[in-house]
Amino acid sequence: MLRLTNTVQPYAWGSTSAIPQLLGVEPDGSPQAELWIGAHPSAPSDAEGVPLDERIAADPEDLLGGRGERLGFLLKVLAAAAPLSLQAHPDRETAARRFAEEEAAGVAHDAPHRLYKDAEHKPELLYALEPFAAMAGFRAPAAAAELLAGLQLQELPPDCADLLEALLAELRGADEEQALRAATRRLLTAPAEAVSPLVEAVATACEDVDDLSARCVVDLAGHHPGDPGVLVSTLLNQVRLQPGEALYLPAGNVHAYLEGTGVELMASSDNVLRGGLTPKHVDVDELLRVLDFRVLPPPLLAPRRVSADEQVFAPADVDDFALTVLRVRPGAATTWTAALPRTLLCLDGSVRVASARGELVLERGQSAFAAAAEHPLTVTGDGRLAAAAPREG
């Protein structure tokens, strides 16, 4: 097993305290948004002096157990103190095709307008470590129309009033998917001089409404005044996770994390298509091409309970990853026999992970990589462990 040292990404929306608290270090006052644990080439973990992606490239059979030549998943700790961008991720076919097109066109990988950083899809799940707020997936358009039509709005300029009237007409259409597609396009392509005052008027009126969507509008408008993504939020499900709950975001699911700390697990990709709530590049046409406009319930992911102390969060539609959360109790031992590459993160307490090749003790915030070839692994101690691996079966 290899002990890992990981990169912290200082994105502006990050919490200044949550990740330092997990790692047992003093906060320095700067935002610390994501802790990356894995072999993604943008920020591979240091595996005892050698980047993990280089170790895997040198011996993929031993480390990955015949599962290709790259680690197919990326484990993160995500700590949001402010909303992330409105975004979605492509499916594998789209990512491969569009990446090849941008490569052929010579678009630099670090160009601000580059959309596809790699050829992989990026489904992801998030397991809440504390109460966590997000918006994810489209809800019934009639619900958004009811909220917007019921607001006591100040008098609007003619172009704003026309925009609202057209938006409500679209949301009341008989075909829900078409209604959501048309409304999303209208909001994200409307002239700023029409949409920005409407955003502000809706946000002001929402201050007097006791509703999760209305409160989300107020909060988003405070962070991103005039941004059309504020109004798109009225089209989306509001999701509130309690600690220990999880959500899953497949390709095409429009979403934004709002606040909280969680363990995030995804296919190892950095492909993000943004639609608003960000100063970064937005490509509305590309986003609309990948979005799933079906009306769906909040995308909660129920675990499979292996035992009273072990649960596995495994999306059924992808085999790139599954997340195991294990409560490790004194005097008990858990053994994992499947020869899978695993990244391990101690969430609480102290756990000991042993294989035929040796053992490591992981304290809160510490992490390791276990090669496929060194299984079985036996876990003992007193604490809580998160383990990422490809989905079995």
Active site residues: 274
CA distances from residue 42 to 38, 102, 181, 270 in whole angstroms, order as listed: 10, 18, 33, 9
- Encoded amino acid at 29, one letter: G
Residues 258 and 133 sit within 8 Å (Cβ to Cβ): yes
What gap in Å lies between CA 252 and CA 287, rounded to an integer? 9
Give the phi and the psi of residue 272 in degrees, each rounded to 5: -130, 125
What gap in Å lies between CA 153 and CA 93, rounded to an integer? 44
- Encoded amino acid at 234, one letter: T
CA distances from residue 390 to 47, 48, 105, 318 in whole angstroms, order as listed: 20, 23, 34, 9
Q: Of 202, 198, 232, 197, whose CA–CA distance to 214 is shortest?
A: 202
Write out the E strands in 227-370: 236-241, 246-249, 255-267, 273-276, 304-305, 310-313, 322-328, 334-336, 342-355, 358-363, 367-370
Helix axes 141-149, 212-223, angle to 10 degrees: 70
